[in-house]
Amino acid sequence: MAWIRGATLALIGVDVALMALGVALYPAYFAQPNAFFYALEPLASLMVYAAIALIATRWTGPQAEVASRVGLLFGLVAGCLWLINLTLETSTNLSGGAGLLATAPFLLGGFLLWGVAGAVAAWRTSSIGSGVLAAMWSAMICALLTVTYGWTLPLVASRRLEQGLANDPDFLRSRWTDLHAFVLANSFDAGFSHLLGALLISLALGAIGAVVAVWLRGARQARSLAA
C-alpha cells in the first residue's frame, strides 16, 4: 500500500503546486471578490484526499491489496475518459445538446467504472468494504488526474480559456472585471466540484456495486452447494 499512498500524495502535492503557481504568476487574482474562497475550497478538498490516502493505506492484507490494485486500474481508465471529456470541453465550440452528447459518455463512463471497480473488488474478496474502498480509490485517482490536467491549462492555454469564458453567463453575473482571474477561479471551482463529486458518487456507486457483487457471489455459492 505504500506505493499507492506515495503516488497519491505526490499527485496531491503537484495539484497544490499548480494552484500556488497559478496565483503567484497572477497576484491580481486576489483583487477580485471572493477570490480567496474559490482557492480555499479545492485546497481543503485536497487535504481531505490526503487524509483519506493516509488512513486508507493503513489497512493491510489481501483485501486491501485487491482494493488498491483494482482501484488503480479502473481509476487510470476512468481518468483517461475524464481527460478526453475535459479536452473536448475546452478545445471545441460545441454547446447545448451537441456538447452534452459529445462529452457525457466520457463523464458518465467514469462513474460507471467506479461502480464496476467496487463490484470487481467485492466479488474477488467477498467483502463490501473492499469494494467500496476500490471504488473510492478509482474515483480519487480519476479526479486527481483530471484536476492536474485542468489546472495546467490556465498556465499553458489561458488565451483559449479566456475566449471561451468571455461571454459565459457565470462571468457576466460574477461582477468580476478581470477575465484572466476568472479563468483561474473557474478552474479552481471546477476542480473542487470534481474532487467532491468523485468522493460522494464513488461511495454510493461503489456500495451498490459491492452489495450486488457479494449477493451474486453468495447466491452462486448457494447454488453450487445445493447441486
Q: What is the pLDDT of residues 74-87, one digit of tens each?
A: 999 999 999 999 99
**Could you tell me the CA-to-CA distances from 11 to 17, 18, 167, 207 in Å, in that order?**
10, 11, 33, 26
Q: In the chain, where are the structural domains located?
A: 2-215
Q: Is 79 exposed, middle or buried, given 0-12, 13-18 or 19+ CB atoms closer than 10 A?
A: buried
pLDDT digits (tens, 9 = 90+) for 107-163: 999 999 999 999 999 999 999 999 999 999 999 999 999 999 999 999 998 888 888
pLDDT digits (tens, 9 = 90+) for 171-185: 888 889 999 999 999
Q: What's the pLDDT at 40? A: 96
Q: What's the pLDDT at 60? A: 81
The x, y and z cell numbers of residue 190, run together, are 471546477
Percent of the chain with pLDDT over 70: 94
Which band of pLDDT confidence, cut at 50, 70 and 90, is reported for residue 168?
confident
**Does the structure show a pLDDT above 60 at 96?**
no
Please give the single-letter amino acid code of residue 105. P
What pTM was estimated for this model as a whole?
0.92
Mean pLDDT of 29-43: 94
Q: Is 36 exposed, middle or buried, given 0-12, 13-18 or 19+ CB atoms closer than 10 A?
A: exposed
**Does the structure show a pLDDT above 90 at 30?**
yes
Which band of pLDDT confidence, cut at 50, 70 and 90, is reported for residue 93?
low
